[in-house]
Structure 1
Amino acid sequence: MSPQQPPPDELFIDPFKVKGTIDPTTEIGRHVLSQPPATRLELWSYYLYYNGNNGYNMFSFLPTLLQMMAQKGGFDPTKPDRPPCSLALSNDAPCNVPWPGTDGIPVVSMIMYATAISFAAQFLLFITFGSLADYGRYNQYILIAATLISCAAQMLPVLFINDDDGSSWYGMMILSIVANVAYGVTLVLYCAAFPILSDNLPIVRSVRANPAISVEETQTVIEKWRNHVSALSTTFSNIGFLIISAVFLAVSFIPWTQGPFLNEDHQFGNTPLYYFVASAACAGFLLVNAIPYFLFRPMGRRGPPLPPNEHHLTIGWKSVIKALSDGVNAISSMQTYIQNDITSFSATQTVVQGFITAITSIIGCLMFLVLAKRYNVSTKTNLMIIVVATGIVPIWGCFGIGFSNFGIRTNWELWVLSVWSGLFTGPIWAWQQTLLGELCPKGQENLFFSLFGLTSRSSYWIGASAIAAVTQQTANAYYGWPIIAALFVVATILLCFVDMDAAKLEMLHLDIQRELANTTSMRRRSKKGSENTSSNTEDDDEVIKMELVENRSEPSEEEEHRSIFLNHTCQ
């Protein structure tokens, strides 16, 4: 009995309410049944993982700790006696830290160099070891290890809690690099899991296994549910962001008498201790939210075996493709640094603005999800809108080079930036990973999402290095905005030339070619085995498989649909 599925264009449809069963006697049915179906527990634990791994600590508390400790341990290069820097800085006040091969570099340059180092490390890890997560059962094991390392790196800053003079800023820099690398790895592996999870929702499996549904209709259903899972997972990330913001907003107002204080307000949020406690708490929040996903993810979730004559350490390098540049991480780094400068490390204002960003991020994700599911706006169109809107931020920041009262220079602009970033920066993660999910070959999701990691994190080491070099020469953080703006211009232009229909057709060609290659390889192995011995069980199994293929006189309905689709498209 063919499964019956509800209309796929309803916004809040239950993907687990599907009638009927999948026919295991058909080739397409066996292919769909090769993966275990997604369960409610797996889906909700997947959302919960992103709720904990929301990135708040990576973009707020950790960089603030690094900047604060560096400025404590820094010096004013414009004065002969090189006095220590003050935490109550104006935007243009110089503050350098010791750096190998130089007489000191600005704090913002150090932060950008550290960011570049972490992204360069991710580049090497993703390309060299990215395929480990694609083949066999390595994905879950690597994700568990990366999550634990990320938690440890976020907790360990408490070791520097008594560092009053900032002399251990370099240790904080190392922890930040490790935390960023581990965080990047967790996001890549997490995002790579969503196409497989989405494609194995019962409602999607029923469509994929139904030979009466055309390839075009099947792809439409797959795309919509990938949008659904991606958007909701990002929404849950923003909910976690909102929870952290709300909790530490309340904690920041606790009256406090024991200094030192970062400004005149004697509240817990204006002490260095607040940031150390917050960082450790974020690590605990991540760990608690991550455990259910590791418990409820089916053990049957695995990739294909490694191709013959390939090695995990080399296959990634053979599969490298040119990636888009992305300036979103650059915006986050610059925004955090400038925000701390303008507010003199005011935790209260920073957390309130983070709270606003979290709320508007949830609104933004749901808004674009409605556009996609209710009004059939394509993934590429949504992403174009989001990228162009986000690109306004670095252009806005460029005005800060020549103006002292505009160009993300004032407090009121920080409030506007919080709203704008929430509406568009949050959704950009969901829709760019959905776009890649539609274009990555089956069985190579982790490798291609590693390349996505290169676009949004690892490839940014070039931009971060350029920003660090420019700010090192100018001692002005605002000169980094033109570089970020250029990254967005390049990304937007390249995105315009992405032909989704042609790319999907190419993916279909690759799937067919892979099936033909597997069939040919199987035939050769079975023939060789039958010639050598007839007692070998594995060879007998291969012979039986090939006899079934060879004895099939007519192509399956799925193959006919594919043939019709290819002929129609080529014409």
Structure 2
Amino acid sequence: MSLPEDLLADPFKVEGTIDPTTEIGREVLSQPPATKKELWSYYLYYNGNNGYVIYFYLPTLLQLMAQRGGFNPDAEGNPPCKITPDDNAPCNVPWLGVSGGIPVVSMIMYATAISFAAQFLLFTTFGSLADYGRYNQYILLGSTLISCAAQMLPIIFLNDDGSHWFGLMILDIVANVSYGMTLVYYAAAFPALSDNLPLVRSVRANLSLSVEEKQHFAEKWRSHVSAISTTFSNIGFLVISVVFLIVSFIPWSQGPFLNDDHQFGNTPLYYFIATAGCSAFLLINAIPYFIYRPSGRHGPPLPENAHHLTIGWKSVFETLKETRKHRHLFMYFASFFMFSDGVNAISSMQTFIQNDVTAFSATQTVVQGFITAITSIIGCLFFLLLAKKFNVSTKTNLMIILVATGTNENQHGDTVQCSHKTILFIIGVIPIWGCFGIGLDNFGLKTNWELWVMSAWSGLFTGPIWAWQQSLLSELIPRGEENKFFSLFGIVGKASSWIGASVIAAVTQKTANAYYGWPIIASLFVVAIIILYFIDMDAARLEMLHFEIQRELAQAHIHAINRIATVDEKASVIKLELVNHENNSDGLDRHHQ
């Protein structure tokens, strides 16, 4: 079998069968093979769950309603806030008895922090549970339905004057929590899906190939599935952008309008209808995956002494005790802790700034989202093509810029023109750029042309990195524990995100200037780069393999003890039967006598 040729082959066309008499053959055959319907429904799920509502419409609606119900704390009598692009007056909302309220952007950041804190608790509680039975599918299905409902229900605030913005904030938190849950458990399902593609299964069961060749082949197909699924997410993002971009330009005569353009996209009604429409789009795309995912693919049964609500916490504590066994993996987690915080904060800040600069203009916001979707697709396909054409590793595919900043050789002989460390530097340009907005009025993400550039920049670099980050993680975690480590990955990201959002909210509340959040975000990227500098990905893989071997030896030892115990038990039973037989024989002899 030629691995380089098979990397471009149809994963469902395989010659020959897997030998069920070998140990590796029995292991491969223990799970059902992936089908075309399952694979494409997996892609389709992400097509619908593209996050457009979470990143654009819901934050915009919350900001819009809060400003409608907010007040100017500096003006006499605390008059209502104005929604105009040239109005620089502060806008506060009541918040938990705080005198004078807090700025709207602080409220949004606090809401973001609350949603991430809730996800932290949920991932910790149910993360490892998803590795057993079919809990992954049940949790994913439940969180998907809750996410759809939370995205649909904001329409009940259609005629609200802004006085009930707190209710919309609750819905926004629920939507963010359920959406975060879907992302983690969706991502945790792809390693098993990729490894059970018929072509990958045949390679895994091939006794003539080395462990390194099998691992390298499986890694390539994991990257393939991850990249294509992320591309589909961006395709769904693009479809939503195009549809609602066209809708936003429909001439409209019935107000109220958010600015002087009398188009449907500049009315609050547009945002409510768009949110409900995106929710329906998610539901339609998600249903096939739950139909075609094979029921036979599941994890081991829940241990007898384990409880559904405590197994996650016990697993996290046990995993943390094994930090020394996964030193480089936990360094990767630490770097992601900082990086995830920065990226999520950028997303929240970007949405707030877009609404502030454009006065909630849907026509501009949707076009910018359209640009982000296009550039994300280009970025994902470019890096996937790079992997296919030049057979480079997953780590190499985390490069972002075209000009090399340094070269080295990895274990497969690929030339690494730009390491994964460069990514954070490139994406970190955005917060550095935003820092100029602290003291300048016409530069530093304060003008329309800067928003256009930032939309394209975010698409090219943010979309691909999420795809290859989860691919890289899947290569470093022990087989059979995907949900536990992906959940821990989610816990790390959510823990950092609520901490960072809270700090930015507090700084903005103190300074009344949202742009003071950018230096905080920039510092997060600096710390992440420093940690990444000391990570050796090859050493991390060796740690993972060593852990798997130790686990297999421990399981073999337990199995041997159980067999010995079984043999002893059987021997005891036989001995007892012999004694009883002898006693019965003695009794018969006495009877005859």
Q: Same fold (TM over 0.5)?
A: yes
Give yes or no for the alignment of 1:378 onto 2:393.
yes
Give yes or no for the alignment of 1:137 onto 2:134.
yes
Write out per-residue CA displacement over residues 546-565 of structure 1, whole angstroms, 9 at most, x where no aligned residue: xxxxxxxxxxxxxxxxxxxx
Write out per-residue CA displacement over residues 57-89 of structure 1, whole angstroms, 9 at most, x where no aligned residue: 100000000000000000001112100001114
Q: Is the 8 A contact 2:368 2:455 kept in 1?
A: yes
Shift in CA distance, 219/122, structure 1 to aligned 2, threshold 3 Å: same
Q: 1:207: how far off?
A: 1.3
Greater Cα offset, 256-265 or 110-119: 256-265
Q: Matches of 1:101 and 1:438 in 2, distance apart?
A: 49
* Aligned position for 1:213: 209
Give yes or no for the alignment of 1:270 onto 2:259.
no
Q: 1:389: how far off?
A: 1.8
User: Which of 433, 439, 450 does residue 402 from structure 1 map onto?
Assistant: 439
Quick one: which amino acid aligns to residue 380 of structure 2?
C
Q: Matches of 1:59 and 1:50 in 2, distance apart?
A: 15
Give yes or no for the alignment of 1:195 onto 2:197.
no
Quick one: which amino acid aligns to residue 364 of structure 2?
Q
* Aligned position for 2:252: 256
User: Which of 108, 112, 127 does residue 109 from structure 2 map onto?
Assistant: 112
Greater Cα offset, 454-463 or 53-62: 454-463
Q: Is the 8 A contact 1:134 1:447 kept in 2?
A: yes
- TM-score where L is the length of structure 1: 0.90
Give yes or no for the alignment of 1:441 onto 2:485.
no
Q: Is the 8 A contact 1:191 1:433 kept in 2?
A: yes
Q: Which secondary structure does the structure 2 equivalent of 1:459 belong to?
A: helix
Shift in CA distance, 193/130, structure 1 to aligned 2, threshold 3 Å: same
* Aligned position for 2:361: 346
* Aligned position for 1:172: 168
Q: Is the 8 A contact 1:386 1:425 kept in 2?
A: no
- TM-score where L is the length of structure 2: 0.87
Greater Cα offset, 305-314 or 223-232: 305-314
Percent of aligned pairs with the same amino acid: 71
Q: 1:306: how far off?
A: 4.1
Q: Matches of 2:17 and 2:568 in 1, distance apart?
A: 40
Matches within 5 A, 1:302-341: 302-306=298-302, 310-311=306-307, 312-318=311-317, 319-320=319-320, 322=330, 323=333, 324=336, 325=338, 326=340, 327-341=342-356
Q: Which secondary structure does the structure 1 equivalent of 2:491 belong to?
A: helix
Matches within 5 A, 1:479-558: 479-533=516-570
Write out per-residue CA displacement over residues 87-142 of structure 1, whole angstroms, 9 at most, x where no aligned residue: 11447431000001412000000000000000001111101111111111100011
* Aligned position for 2:297: 301
Q: Is the 8 A contact 1:397 1:407 kept in 2?
A: yes
Quick one: which amino acid aligns to residue 127 of structure 1?
T
Shift in CA distance, 49/91, structure 1 to aligned 2, threshold 3 Å: farther
Give yes or no for the alignment of 1:237 onto 2:236.
no
Quick one: which amino acid aligns to residue 119 of structure 1?
F
Give yes or no for the alignment of 1:16 onto 2:12.
yes
Q: 1:397: how far off?
A: 0.9
Q: Is the 8 A contact 2:7 2:217 kept in 1?
A: no
Q: 1:11: how far off?
A: 6.5
| Structure 1 unaligned blocks of 5 or more | 537-571
Q: Matches of 1:367 and 1:121 in 2, distance apart?
A: 36
* Aligned position for 1:225: 221
Greater Cα offset, 315-324 or 279-288: 315-324
Q: Matches of 1:204 and 1:29 in 2, distance apart?
A: 12
Q: Which secondary structure does the structure 2 equivalent of 1:82 belong to?
A: coil
Q: 1:214: how far off?
A: 0.9
Write out per-residue CA displacement over residues 135-174 of structure 1, whole angstroms, 9 at most, x where no aligned residue: 11100011000000000000000110110x2001000000
User: Which of 22, 37, 40 does residue 41 from structure 1 map onto?
Assistant: 37
User: Which of 376, 379, 384 does residue 364 from structure 1 map onto?
Assistant: 379
Q: Is the 8 A contact 1:471 1:479 kept in 2?
A: yes
Q: Is the 8 A contact 1:128 1:316 kept in 2?
A: no
Give yes or no for the alignment of 1:181 onto 2:208.
no
Q: Is the 8 A contact 2:131 2:299 kept in 1?
A: yes
Across the aligned residues of Structure 1 and Structure 2, the Cα RMSD in angstroms comes to: 1.8
Q: Is the 8 A contact 2:8 2:388 kept in 1?
A: no
Quick one: which amino acid aligns to residue 391 of structure 1?
G
* Aligned position for 1:471: 508
Q: Matches of 1:394 and 1:307 in 2, distance apart?
A: 47
Give yes or no for the alignment of 1:411 onto 2:411.
no
Q: 1:304: how far off?
A: 2.6
Write out per-residue CA displacement over residues 35-74 of structure 1, whole angstroms, 9 at most, x where no aligned residue: 1111111110000000000001100000000000000000
Q: 1:12: how far off?
A: 4.4
What is the aligned length?
A: 531
Shift in CA distance, 529/501, structure 1 to aligned 2, threshold 3 Å: same
* Aligned position for 1:568: none
Give yes or no for the alignment of 1:60 onto 2:64.
no
Q: Is the 8 A contact 2:3 2:217 kept in 1?
A: no
Q: Is the 8 A contact 2:53 2:275 kept in 1?
A: yes
* Aligned position for 1:548: none
